A = this chain, B = another copy of it.
């Protein structure tokens, strides 16, 4: 037997108990006549006491234990003379009577401590050591708890977890698929699902009524920071529902998860139309933990001879409270440069400072009188000490840039409190979004999303502005500025689905080849239905107040899509390729 107790459970009231324990050597503190060894496992740390008076031979053996050795000890629980009240087991120690070294360890390449000295790549390579560290271990355990709470909640609401297939069919629409060559059908390929979208809709056609799945999805994208080629969704679909039913159900799920995992009761989630979110925050995922809302200045800023504003479609700003005195010209210059980086691309940044002495200072003071600027301030409700930051240009772009500035200022000003959670439903998303590059409309959510009833007729007018204005029964859940998930009411009518494919530039043949099975299914009594998917990795990170998802994934890949630990992907045998009816034809462009 390896243990009667784990390293996290013994307390003062266990004193006198004979125990067997196993774990890893965290540290040892060898005083010569005595050696205090900290034994660690998943559950905690317990102090082992080796003592010259008790057993000199054992004390000598204990001196040879290195960090991360695995040992089993037998001994007696006793009260410690010098207690450590910071850990739950800190009042006791084990008087060791015998010890077996179960396995030795080389010196780890980085320290197994909460704050490690290992760099990212090194910790990825030795992920099995990194997971021994509390922050990673706890993130992975937390993820498991979120999954269990989600499953129990959805099951209690009558949802059935159904596993959908991983070997499916490639569709050129959307992101790139990972493909899997078929050996039994040479020249043909499966694709790994980017989501179970069509299958969950077919489950609704099949009468399953309420479906969910916590499921891996795959996207072969050029990886940006904090994206993974495989990621996990809480994927759901419901039949005979309206948007309202779906929002309420998944608001319930979210509240339940917060309660079960953080012990936190969330108030009802506010709802905001997409257009309003863009107008007030310049983002479809506004961080509601602080204000600093946009104020539009077209009516007061244009027509005063300042060409930049006069020629701009939109003049809009935010008010940074209490920042007027703190921002020197140099600070403003730096902030302007930050806004001008290609990632944001602002042309310039206009400030108006309302100083404590009542004076007004502005980069556009030449063009506007103090009265003009004070009138602007009034629109913001600005007080003495506040500073306006103003951008101008094409409406959509300017709003996006100002969103970045708002988030940056919120952070700088410490407006975001730890442990604060502000969920928001953003609703009434556009049906389509214009893609500059391909010069065509794409589905903003996906091609199965239902337009709003009142917009159905206008779908094929062909006019750009009309297309842009089409609205969908589509919604996102946003928490603290992070998109937790999104969904929509789906089309369940073959003709409407065909019309939508046409709108998206599919020929009838393409639509039939790629999605014929779904449109066919719509002909056999498809019920009205809709659903949602939560990004599970992101949900876990947001719950734990983290900005990166990586520690919530046991074995993540790096930004080149590589698993550093097992060194994958890798070459395969010629024979394997041959069986698949494939040949290498390398042609990767130099970057």
Contact = CB atoms under 8 A, between A and B. Distances in A.
A470 interface: no
Given A68-B525, A166-B230, A581 B582 contact: no
A583 B586 contact: no
A375 interface: no
Interface string A515-527: 0010001111111
Interface in A293-350: none
A190 interface: yes
Interface residues of A, number: 127
A91 B572 CA distance: 65
Contacts of A2: 240-242, 528
A11 interface: no
Interface string A130-153: 111000010011011001100110
Contacts of A557: 165, 167
Interface in A119-173: 126-132, 137, 140-141, 143-144, 147-148, 151-152, 155, 160-170, 172
B166 A166 contact: yes
B144 A567 contact: no
Interface string A237-264: 0001110000000000000000000000
A524 B129 contact: yes
Contacts of A207: 24, 40-42, 131-132, 137
Nearest to A162: B554
A444 B23 CA distance: 31
B148 A69 contact: no
A68 B581 contact: no
Contacts of A525: 24, 68-70, 103-105
> Copy number in this complex?
2
Contact of A572 (B42, B189, B523): B189
Contacts of A85: none
A522 B521 CA distance: 52
B493 A103 contact: yes
Nearest to A105: B525
Contacts of A190: 178, 568-569
Contacts of A184: 222-223, 560-561
Interface of A: 1-3, 6, 22, 24, 40-43, 68-70, 72, 102-106, 108, 126-132, 137, 140-141, 143-144, 147-148, 151-152, 155, 160-170, 172, 176-192, 198-199, 202-203, 205-209, 216, 218, 220, 222-223, 229-230, 232, 240-242, 492-493, 517, 521-528, 553-555, 557, 560-563, 565-573, 576-588
